[in-house]
Each structure stands twice: as C-alpha cells, then as structure tokens.
Amino acid sequence: MISFKNTAIVYNRDVPESSIVAGKAAELFSAKLTTPDSLRDDAEFVVTVGGDGTILRAARYYAKKNVPIFGINLGRLGFLAQANPDELEWAVKKLKNGEYKIQNRMMLSAFDGRITALNDIVIKGDTFSRTSRLYLSINGNHVCDYLADGLIISTPTGSTAYTLSAGGPVISPGLEAVVIVPICPHTLTARPLVIPSGEEIEVSSCDTCSGLKLSADGQNTIDVASNEKIIIKKSNIQAKLVVLNRENNGFYAVLREKLQWGVSPR
C-alpha cells in the first residue's frame, strides 16, 4: 500500500494552469509543492501535474528510491498519466481507498548507470545538417552499420513515443524487450529491431567522424566523443507507475483512446 504521509506534488510551471491544479492536489493530499528542478528526497509518493515529460523527469529521479508516481495530465497526450484535472477529487478518493495497482516499468541505463531513461536513449550526430555513421553491436557481436540521422534505443514504455514516430513497433509495457530504431536511415534495408532486455547494446562511430549527442527521454543530453563507445543495458532500477482500477484503463484501451489506434475514418 502507498503511504500518503510524505506526498510531493511535482508540477511544471511552464504548463498553463499547472499551479492551480497542483495547489488543489496539495490540499487534497496535505502535501507540499515542488518543481522538476527541485525534487524532494523525502517523498514516499509523488503526484505529477503536467505532461508526460514531467512524469519522465520525476520517474528517472525517484526510480532509484522506489517511490511510486501518479500523473495528472495537463499536456497534449498524457499517455503515462492516469487522470485529467476534472477527475482530481475522484482520483484521490480511489487512491486513498486502495483502488489502484503499481506497475513496474523497465528502464535503460548508459555509462554505468549515470544515465537512465524510462522511454528511450537517443543517439545523434552533433552536426545538424549531416547524417551520422553509427555502428551497432549486441553482446559483442557486430550487427550492422547505419548511415542515418540517429538511433533510438527504446523500452516498451517508450515504444509509443519517439520510436513510434520513427516507424518502430508498439510493444506492451509488460514485455521485457528493447527496440532499436534508426532515424531516417539512408538505406531501404534498415528496419527496427526488437531484442531481449538482457542484451548489451554497443553503439559507436568512426574516429574521424564528428562527435555525438546522447539524450535520455529527450531531456538529459550529453556530448559523446566520436571515439567513445556507448554501452546501453537494462537498468537495475525500475520506475513505479500508479494505475487506477477503472474501466477501459488497460494498455490496449489507452492505445485506442489516446492514439486513435485502429479507429476507422468517418
């Protein structure tokens, strides 16, 4: 069961109306407000108010502390969120009545855990106008070379985000797998690759190429030297997302509702 004693309300000040909704949530939970730039270490339960980006940032921080996260959506899609602002009081009642479950979501890590991601790790060249030459190896075995705008290494949770836009498959979040998707590859034979979560992925570039940029969940970006090998693995920590017990709240129902999956044109 979730302890609501030390609840933190994390809100995105850049999202309109977030402070109003966050203030109301703080009253209902008798909690304190905070922002993604000043997250509390003592929180035992976190409610985010904003879009999926707010959830992703909070998840990366609180996963190592095993703190569950519940999202109130003020963004455009809110695929990871569980309630809209007009459902806030109803959602709080269900939470306090124990009408929820906690889903453990797989994460990725790079550079020995210094970088973690719930959605994806994206590798691109640092020159905007040029494609990058990237070499992919799995478990020490060379797989292929890419001439592309970049490479997306995604979790099942991230398969409905950037990976989907780049032509990757949708993967149920309960599946232990990793998706590798090239971004605008300069060949017709480069296709998305789905591999077991326990595989070790290595991405590198040529020594004479320009450097690379690596981003986690599209937020945490670092520079990588062209001769540096990037090792990506399944993280040993998991994000904990709180899911309400409600009708049509399963993964496939959310696909249909929020992504209009398989909805016939009218």
**Residues annotated catalytic, as ranges:** 52
Q: CA-to-CA distance for 203 and 171, rounded, in angstroms?
A: 22
Given a contact cutoff of 8 angstroms between Cβ atoms, the answer to whether 126 and 213 are in contact is yes
DSSP letters, 95-152, are HHTT-EEEEEEEEEEETTTTEEESSEEEEEES-TTS-EEEEEEETTEEEEEEEESEEE
Pair 148, 183: CB distance under 8 Å: yes
* 234, two tokens: 């399944």
Per-residue tokens: 72:
């109130």
Parallel/antiparallel/unpaired status of strands 201-205 and 132-138? antiparallel
| Torsion (CA) 97, 3, 14, 156 in degrees, nearest 10 | -80
Which of 194-200's residues contact partners 24+ apart within 8 Å by CB, and which partners? 194/169, 195/138, 197/106, 197/234, 198/234, 199/138, 199/139, 200/138, 200/139, 200/140, 200/231, 200/232, 200/233
How far apart are the C-alpha atoms of 106 and 240, rounded to whole Å? 9
* Six-digit token string for 146: 């890419």
